[in-house]
Chain A
Amino acid sequence: MLLNTYHISWLSLSLAYILLAFPLYIFWKYKTGLVKETLISFARMTLQLALVGLYLGLIFNLNNVWINIGWVFIMIGVATITTTQRSGLKGRAFFVPVSLALLVSIVLIDTFFLGAILQLENFFEARYFIPITGMIIGNCMERNIIALNTFYDTLTKEYEVYQYYIANGASRQEALRPFISEAIQKSFNPLIANTAVIGLIALPGMMTGQILGGSAPGLAIKYQILLMLGIFTASLSTVYITLRSVTPHLISASGILLSKQQVSNKTVKQLSVYELHQELVSLSVGKQKVNTDPSFS
């Protein structure tokens, strides 16, 4: 493809930093205490993007299937660590369900997107596989952080409601349904609202980038629509799998809600294989967990 985008020289790019002078002046004048933070975050942004530019340049040149797959695994790992840290639900017991949820969602959506719709000759073609997967992972992570935070916070605040349903005959998953509902509502409302106004008050980044890069607007829009659909479904799948599979680690067998500290201290060894297996079976069969475990509440 012929790239007819105007070149930006390093010199003119550095001149663009002059733009920061105005916000910095206002921050300083009003003693907001934001000057230092702003300088640090823009320095970080520059460094990180420069590194990513180098990496991606290298990865795109090599365009090796295994390196591309490896890169996606690194992205999943970073997204998982960010999710567990920002939700405060750390520890290996959380790393496994969150990264699996991301992996399953990515495999599903990528297969559909790159395989069935774009029908790429090389499925792992770096130019498609990496940016598309990256954008999906980033969005899944955002949704998942909001969902996990809402889920745990509501459960802590309204634990008596969980007990209310348990005391009136609910299984664990039945009693958790209102909490999963709340978490899904809180995490998807912003995305739904955004989707409704896209193109009107915001031109999405990828579309803008493609148009600047020389694509016809018609094609850029098709990509954008595909991406929005992919992001939406992958996010829901990530959130759903995560919420369904973390519950055995949040609530003890006798029905006590564990604190974030206790949860973080749980290791994979302590994580009951039986419970995890039950959750996965109930997920795959699409049935409620039957009361085979006498001690569960």
Chain B
Amino acid sequence: MIVFNDVNISHENTPLLEGMSFRIKKGQKAVLKGRSGSGKSSIMKTILGFHLPQKGEIFIKDIALKAGNEKLIREFTSWVPQDIWTPLERVKDFLLYPFSFKINHHLYPDTKAIGEMLDQLMLPVSLLEKPVKQISGGEKQRIALCSSLLLKKDIILWDEPTSALDDYTKEHICSFIMQQPELTLLVSSHDAYWIEASDIIIKTEEYHVA
């Protein structure tokens, strides 16, 4: 699903990562491990086509990542960044906003599906009617994870998805994700739960340009 062949990535014209190679197969779960600033977010943004690699090849679902292909590749991906802001007022509107996009219309989830997914992410359904301003950063992030899962894309990219959560919730969400055989996942995380449960560990520091 995700193949990196000797890839170099720069950030604002400064070399960041060199000689990255890895292969994530369908259904595999991979974790990006490394300290802050070691390029974890840049790798995800490169996969999404927001940056192009300086060198090397990237294939997403056998499609080569190059200028002009970004849109095609983004049809298979769902990404949740670490910090999310929204001017939308209600939590429900925020959760459902990605389903208002033309290409996601047919994926619009019913109340039952939303309720079940919120339950797996350990969020109460009553949260949906609250104003976004009243919920915590961790809750907002989990609402975004909920949208991301409901989009049912082939590849999920999550940047530090559980950093704001307590251990119990972390463990629960992590084991729920690991039980989804269809899902190909790449997360960046410091948390032992993800690192222990993943099939592949990619240590960004090994490729980091000092």
Contacts and interface: CB of A to CB of B under 8 A. Distances in A.
Contacts of B157: 167
A257 to B, nearest CB: 11
A169 interface: yes
A158 B83 CA distance: 9
B86 A166 contact: no
Contact of B79 (A157, A168, A294, A296): A168
A185 interface: yes
B45 to A, nearest CB: 7
A178 B148 CA distance: 18
Interface of A: 154, 157-158, 160-161, 163-171, 174, 178-179, 181-182, 185, 254-256, 288, 291, 294-297
Contacts of B210: none
Given A181-B87, A255-B70, A297-B49, A171 B81 contact: no
Given A295-B68, A296-B71, A169 B101 contact: yes
Contact of A170 (B50, B80, B101): B101
Nearest to A168: B98
A296 B104 CA distance: 18
A75 B86 CA distance: 37
Nearest to B72: A294
B103 interface: yes
B87 A163 contact: no
Nearest to A157: B85
Contacts of A296: 71
A256 B98 CA distance: 21
Nearest to B75: A169
B67 A166 contact: no
Contacts of B147: 168
Given A174-B100, A181-B87, A254-B67, 15 more contacts: A163-B50, A163-B79, A163-B81, A164-B80, A168-B101, A169-B101, A169-B151, A171-B102, A174-B101, A174-B102, A178-B97, A181-B88, A182-B87, A255-B50, A294-B71
